[in-house]
Amino acid sequence: MQTLASQHGGLWVSLVLLPANAKTATRDDVNNLGGSVGLLVQSPSDGPANDIPSGDLETAKQYGARVAAVASRLRG
C-alpha cells in the first residue's frame, strides 16, 4: 500500500512508534506487534473482535491521532 500510494501521488503516514520488543513486553503494550509503516492489530482467531488486546487498541488510537495531526498540517 505504501508503494501504491507513492506511485499515485498519495501520502502514507507511518506509525513512528517503537516496537515493544523487550522480554517483559506483553500484548497490553503499545505496538507490541512491531509495526512501522502502519497499524498492526491482531485478535484471536477463535474469538470476537472485542478480544483485541488493549495494547493494539491504544496503538490504533495513537496512530489515528498521528493521521489526524498530519492531515491538519496539510490543511494549513
pLDDT at 44: 87
Q: What does the pLDDT look like over 62-73, one tens digit per residue?
A: 999 999 999 999
Least Cα distance to 28 among 63, 59, 66 occurs for 59
State the pTM of this model: 0.86
What is the band of 19 on the pLDDT scale with cuts at 50, 70, 90? very high
DSSP H helical segments within the chain, as ranges? 2-7, 54-75
What is the band of 1 on the pLDDT scale with cuts at 50, 70, 90? confident
